[in-house]
Structure 1
């Protein structure tokens, strides 16, 4: 999946300090020996057996993902006894440590690559070109193996493959179905053709938002400082916000120029719509209120402090454990139905001294075995078409994890309405301009139109400078 295991995004400040524009790091990577010998728990090097080639694999992930990778390594090594894979599990500060390893001349052979930096890494020759191997492969290179055109959109630059997607993940609605039953409100549907309009979404969120005196937003005497239950929480980082923008007919990036178009009316209105859930409609808690409560959205769904939560599909891996009845649904439509379609890539690094072994491992990570185990626990959605057939769904839809009707999220909502966004070259520098501007919108210091009109030209200047390097 795309976020790291603890849900935090990597530090932009540290990323900028380490990368300084990644060209210098890339030059080091190009001539560095790949994959420094792994160490055991005692710090001693774990040498492979004679005739066995060792490669390293670096990635993040919580306990479930860590266990899944280790299980996959065991299976892979049984199939490929001449290759040893050493897992460099890095659940915290992944991007910082990844870049530091490259700068130190000890890059991994293979790794998780985030969508925010993929194109920059390709530009700076950090990643190995996998095109020839993939096109020659009778399994992963077969026509129709992946959901297209989205797989090619995220994995290729100028028609060349520099990684393979791990899976798909996408924001959707989670809701406490018991609250809907108690309120006598029909819940939203997993079927994207029945997705709520934005106005209905807001109206239902108002009905489900209740203060300590039982009043709702708009009622006389409603107390916004003493809310017992909020109607909804919509996160304000870029993946959920991109979903809203696409649902309003807008875009994050112009596909022709590669520049940000967050200052266009469709985008600013969508951003403002999300901000107004707090600022106008009073159905969503401010970030400070969430912090004061000290609870996650899953905890708030469970204890009844929250009726609906917008979150990535990956969150099903833990949200399904709540005691109340859990429901899921397609995101509401503003002008159209849409969601962000995302996930990290598995890539081999250009500096590897073992390109064939690295390819064999990346290929294995793209097989049904590897993807299915994470789909079964609610962490991933499939990117392989075989897992979306009636027979394929039976291999991973799990009672007690996937709510009734969830297969429509995987087979209809995401492939039909998912929009791929892999950030442009130089995005970390541009993000240092865009995110603070958005923060002004979320707290009401500026409208989305005002904030983006100021920030987008500055960010685009950065992107143009990076593209020209």
Structure 2
């Protein structure tokens, strides 16, 4: 796209033409970038998002370049805390202060979509000269109907097994395979975690004298929100709802077995922290940096922080149960119907989504592209993956990029209904499982009774 010219030519006829061509994009019009040489009235967009300190730096740098390209558009970035994002967004909406463009959690997005607060992104694509739906990865759309996309994934994201190469080498543990066909079995994974877990005297979890009450380094850490668990629920043949989306099925044997295996890492093998122990530990990527954990299960977005910290790490494909999978996920990006500048908001979305315009968001490891060609064209892969080996270590291409394309499974956020009610029920109901007080099968049976009172059908 061309830069906006600061002034018209001196000829009077040019001034007349310019005055006649001051652009306004009607509902059936074209991309505003097509007329970006024409002076126009100043526009201010409000954009809300979440993320780490490094993400804030990356976003603000990208927005500065956007303003250089489109100087009549000023973007007011508003970073809200991850933990309080829904509350803040609800407050903005109730005060009629909704932003133009926003990150959106899937649970709040579902509610706002029912209230018709979002514009249909398929409409923008239908008249956009540069993009079409087929350009995107298939799973990315948040839809209230087949023809209405209220949101689109901000980025492509997935999970992998992160590990400290130096710690594995010192413990004599082979590195986790990056290829799905060579993925560790669960038994191989547990064995590695035992050898990597050390107590305060340097004894690992295989040692008969190992002190489980004085652990200095855990072999593995993972989080217990929905998608980290779903890597193994899905990989064991389970799901949250039935194929027709009419029943809650997280209490199936397949799902319960997967969740029980994860709980056993803390309560049987003592290679992962319990919820109580986790409270005294830093965030997982920081724990990996500090050597408090040798391996973690986390999403590709932590490559940003690990790359900046110059950690000696790499990424393996997740251990498999019945099959090797990774969950494809992302929060949504939405355009609010209340926006006075929807065309400019769409222009900003296109900028953020296009690695050509915001390449640092991808090279630095924060995001993976939403466009298919950035995975299949070697020249484009080279631009975002190979450009920064610190943020994309050797295992990344197979363990994350290829794995997402070939074995990715959409997060439940794309299809589960009543998420605002369902997620808290599941989270609270599984706490006794993580604490080793009840079995996953028992807890999930109780959860199912409560959740099935909700309408989970899509």
TM-score, L = length of structure 2: 0.83
Q: Which residue of 2 aligns with 1:128?
A: 119
Distance 1:298 1:53 in 2: 39
Return the offset for 1:330. Answer: 0.9
The whole-number CA distance in structure 1 between the counterparts of 2:361 and 2:254 is 35
**In structure 2, distance between residues paired with 1:285 and 1:326:** 21
> Which of 386, 408, 414 is residue 398 of structure 2 equivalent to?
408
Work out the CA distance in 1 between the residues paired with 2:237 and 2:271.
Answer: 24
1:57 aligned counterpart, secondary structure: strand
Counterparts in 2 of 1:304 and 1:59: CA distance versus 1, 3 Å: closer
Question: 1:205 Cα shift?
Answer: 1.1
- Take 2:56 and 2:293, find their aligned partners in 1: how far apart are those partners? 30
Q: CA deviation at 1:337?
A: 0.7
* SS of equivalent residue, structure 1 residue 231: coil
Deviation at 1:267, TM superposition (A): 0.6
* Residue equivalent to 2:277: 289
1:163 is matched with 151
- Map 1:87-166 onto structure 2 (within 5 A): 87-91=77-81, 93-141=84-132, 143=134, 145-148=135-138, 150-152=139-141, 154=142, 157-166=145-154
Q: How many residues align?
A: 414
Deviates more, 1:374-383 or 1:270-279: 374-383
Residues 248 and 108 (structure 1), Cα distance of their counterparts in 2 relative to 1, 3 Å cut: same
Structure 1 residue 205 and structure 2 residue 205: aligned? no
Does the residue aligned with 1:162 lie in a helix, a strand or coil? strand
2:384 alignment partner in structure 1: 396
Relative to 1, partners in 2 of residues 1:367 and 1:324: Cα closer, same or farther, differing over 3 Å? Answer: closer
1:418 alignment partner, one of 402, 408, 411? 408
Give yes or no for the alignment of 1:452 onto 2:444.
Answer: yes
Bigger radius of gyration: 2
Work out whether residues 381 and 410 of structure 1, in 8 Å CA contact, stay in contact via their aligned partners in 2: no
- CA offsets 1:133-158 (integer angstroms, 9 cap, x no match): 21232332163x2222x124x45632
Segments of 5+ residues of structure 2 without an aligned counterpart are 1-38
Partner Cα distance (1:177, 1:216) in 2: 17
User: What 5-or-longer segments of structure 1 have no aligned partner?
Assistant: 1-48
Whole-angstrom CA distance in 2 between matches of 1:183 and 1:157: 52
List 4+ stretches of structure 1 deviating above 4 A: 321-324
Alignment of 1:24-63 (within 5 A): 51-63=41-53
Match of 1:195 in 2: 183
Residue 172, structure 1, aligned to residue 171, structure 2: no
CA distance in 1, matches of 2:256, 2:364: 36
1:353-392 aligned within 5 A: 353-370=340-357, 372-388=359-375, 389-392=377-380
Q: Secondary structure at the match of 2:132?
A: coil
In structure 2, the CA distance between the partners of 1:208 and 1:261, relative to structure 1 (3 Å rule), is same
